[in-house]
Chain A
Amino acid sequence: MMLTIALAAVQTILPLLPTIGGDVEKVIAWIEDVKSAAQQTGQWTPAIDAAYVAALLATRQNQDYQPD
């Protein structure tokens, strides 16, 4: 049973790495963001809110966000 679960987990994670073209940092950034959201205990400060809005506005220049 445990071996089946372990193999399923490995099969889920390992294929992700080559698919994203070697940018493991992106996966780690996603994990860190999910972790920080889960650990959030209070409302954002105005500085954090402003940084979030700035990050949203910056997606205008992000190549990943440009349609075909």
Chain B
Amino acid sequence: MNQDQFQALLRTLIATAAGSLATHGATTAANLLNNQTISGALVILAVMIWAHFAHTAPSSTPPSASPPTASTNPPASSAGHVVQQLAIMLGFLALASFSLLIWLPGCAHLQPGADPVVVRCEQVETDAKASFDLALHVEAANAPFWATNVPAFHNFCNWLRTPTTIGSTNLPRCSAMLLSLNDLKHDYEAGEASSNALVLAFTTIDGLGSEASNWLTVVTNTPNL
């Protein structure tokens, strides 16, 4: 069986497992397995393991008849060696996955006629909302813990949540800011606002979204939490 056949077999097994999980009511797990990102990561991991062991498989040729020589390196523990190799491969997998998932698609070209200012604004709107969603979810999942141990994160999230009136609508502050940015984008498209105003607005929102992402990095990497 070559590597392509192995990949096809693995994808079939993942699809079968997802179907079986869905049949038994485990829809969340089934959705995870059906997600292209997850299944792709599993296949990459399996292929890396496959390639590693195929590369390090012992040769079928008989050992040399020459007498053994003294070695300065002690024999490696096979279990420890495998765990170490798996840890290294997982690290490479994480790097490769994030590169492929996030950075490489960033090279997409704009369609003819698309206004780059509007497209950039919409990208900021998408990124910022995703970051607010994740940060507020992480904080809300254990708010008393964060209020005690990382009060600045808790306060930042509550600042984002503060009810704010926009027009006749009451919204959380972060949503109100994004809605206001979306309105400004429409004004710009209608020629009622300058590109400078729109760039200034979405740059500000982009900074706020980045701050939410930065908080996620801090709260998930602070020792002893």
Q: Which residues of A contact B (CB under 8 A)?
A: 2-3, 5-7, 9-13, 15-16, 19-21, 23-44, 49, 52-53, 55-57, 59-60, 63-68
Contacts and interface: CB of A to CB of B under 8 A. Distances in A.
Contact of A37 (B88, B123, B143, B216): B123
B19 interface: no
Contacts of A42: 110-111, 114, 119
A43 B35 CA distance: 26
Nearest to A16: B220
A11 B221 contact: yes
A43 to B, nearest CB: 5
Contacts, number: 159
B102 A31 contact: yes
Contacts of A3: 88, 91
A55 B105 CA distance: 25
Contacts of B87: 6-7, 10
Given A36-B126, A41-B108, A60 B172 contact: yes
Closest 6 CB pairs of A and B: A6-B91, A33-B130, A37-B126, A42-B111, A67-B161, A9-B94
Given A33-B129, A68-B143, A57 B171 contact: yes
A57 B92 CA distance: 40
Contacts of B118: 43
B221 to A, nearest CB: 6
A29 B130 contact: yes
A65 B160 CA distance: 8
B94 A34 contact: no
B7 interface: no
10 contacts: A6-B95, A15-B221, A20-B138, A23-B141, A33-B126, A39-B105, A40-B126, A41-B111, A65-B161, A68-B147
Given A24-B32, A40-B119, A43-B115, A64 B110 contact: no
Nearest to B123: A37
B158 to A, nearest CB: 5
Contact of A67 (B38, B101, B114, B162): B162
